[in-house]
């Protein structure tokens, strides 16, 4: 956290706001720990909850993960994590805090998201990665938004081959997921973790009953779109595009390499047999957009879901909307100093295997 604070202040010269944020996270951790202790007293069903067959969506940012997760959750197939529940995972705290959500929404960092790229708020179903940031101030979120600004490149600090925090992280996610199942009175978790791209074998070892939906999209689209998403948040919060070009370029290059690592590591584990292929379904973004009903005919049996006539009708209607969808999110490779040639070269393995 000290390194992150130093990196942000040295680049953006705004010492007060990050200090308040980091201090708040430290205090939050104490309150959450106390609240979760009381959870065990006030919610005895927690002792019986098990995470047996979680459905987990994995994929690089901007590859369709959010759409797929929210669709499955909206159809009551399972439950996902709302952002505020990752911030306050204690059921006891949630009872106390829920009435104040409208006020909290006005100061939430989620307001800095460019809605054409990604619509979110405190009550939106979101990726589970922030749960690790809020608890440990660790993981790819911390690197992508904070430590990529450090003088030295600290990406290896988040490489499980160098420093593997899987047991710690998965144990925390299990606690958070159990509480969400109790809160929502459901038995099925539908999670979304882009960071699992580099440690899916470890996750499947911890949760052998898990089913993985790995979304993939043309890197010529996901790379600039993902960079636009992150820099858009940073621009709204700190004025990213007002920084000197050399600082912007260094950050963009580091984030580019992090996205590349997420893709290549999954690819290598997948083709080398480190991931049981019967546990993973590859979901291509172009099919989500052009053939959603056909895609769901394949996904539902894989997820062991018997669809109702109502669900099939919703799938058909959604498929029609998907074919007509036009994104308002505008971005370009040139904006980030990238070229088609470089991306095609760097992601060659991905194109050969999945396209």
pLDDT confidence tier of residue 24, bands split at 50, 70 and 90: confident
Choice among 212-226, 255-269, 313-327 with the minimum mean pLDDT? 313-327
Residue 117 pLDDT more than 70?
no
Distance CA 202, CA 204 (A): 6
Report the pLDDT averaged over residues 212-218.
98
| Domain covering 2-290+325-354 assigned CATH 3.40.50.300 in the classification | yes
At residue 116 the predicted structure's pLDDT band, cuts being 50, 70 and 90, is: very low
Region 337-352: mean pLDDT is 97
For residue 355, give Cα distances in angstroms to 59, 218, 295: 15, 8, 16
d(CA 37, CA 91): 10
pTM score, whole prediction: 0.91
* Two structure tokens written together for 44: 């005895």
Q: Of 12-26, 76-90, 92-106, 153-167, where does mean pLDDT reach its minimum?
A: 12-26
Distance between CA 95 and CA 263 in Å, rounded? 39
- Residue 184: pLDDT band (50, 70, 90) is very high
Residue whose entry in the numeric block shows the structure tokens 């996750």: 203
Least confident of 48-62, 100-114, 140-154, 336-350: 100-114
pLDDT category of residue 303 using cuts at 50, 70 and 90: very high
Judged by DSSP in three states, 55 sits in: strand
- Tokens standing for residue 92: 């006891």
d(Cα 55, Cα 77) in Å, to the nearest integer? 10
Q: Tell me how far CA of residue 316 lies from CA of 284, 297, 311, 313, in angstroms.
A: 18, 11, 9, 5
Strands (E), the chain: 55-58, 190-192, 211-216, 280-284
């Amino acid at each position: 956290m000290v390194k992150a604070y130093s990196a942000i202040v040295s680049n953006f010269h705004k010492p007060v706001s990050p200090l308040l944020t980091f201090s708040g996270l430290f205090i939050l951790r104490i309150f959450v720990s106390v609240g979760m202790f009381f959870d065990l007293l006030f919610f005895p069903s927690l002792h019986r909850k098990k995470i047996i067959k979680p459905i987990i969506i994995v994929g690089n940012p901007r590859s369709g993960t959010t759409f797929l997760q929210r669709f499955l959750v909206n159809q009551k197939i399972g439950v996902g994590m709302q952002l505020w529940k990752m911030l306050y995972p204690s059921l006891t705290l949630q009872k106390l805090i829920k009435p104040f959500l409208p006020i909290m929404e006005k100061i939430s960092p989620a307001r800095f998201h460019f809605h054409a790229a990604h619509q979110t708020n405190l009550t939106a179903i979101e990726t589970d990665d922030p749960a690790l940031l809020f608890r440990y101030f660790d993981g790819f979120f911390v690197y992508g938004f904070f430590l990529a600004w450090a003088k030295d490149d600290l990406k290896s600090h988040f490489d499980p081959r160098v420093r593997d925090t899987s047991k710690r992280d998965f144990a925390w996610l299990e606690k958070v997921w159990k509480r969400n199942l109790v809160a929502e009175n459901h038995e099925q978790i539908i999670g979304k973790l882009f960071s699992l791209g580099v440690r899916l074998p470890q996750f499947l070892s911890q949760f052998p009953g898990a089913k993985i939906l790995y979304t993939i999209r043309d890197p010529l689209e996901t790379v600039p779109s993902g960079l636009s998403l992150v820099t858009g948040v940073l621009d709204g919060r700190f004025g990213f595009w007002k920084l000197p070009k050399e600082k912007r370029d260094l950050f963009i290059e580091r984030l580019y390499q992090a996205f590349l690592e997420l893709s290549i590591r999954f690819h290598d584990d997948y083709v080398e047999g480190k991931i049981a292929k019967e546990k993973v379904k590859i979901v291509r973004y172009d099919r989500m957009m052009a053939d959603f009903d056909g895609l769901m005919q394949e996904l539902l049996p894989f997820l062991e879901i018997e669809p109702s006539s109502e669900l099939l009708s919703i799938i058909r209607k959604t498929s029609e909307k998907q074919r007509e969808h036009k994104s308002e999110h505008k971005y370009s490779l040139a904006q980030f100093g990238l070229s088609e040639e470089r991306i095609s070269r760097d992601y060659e393995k991905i194109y050969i295997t999945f396209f």
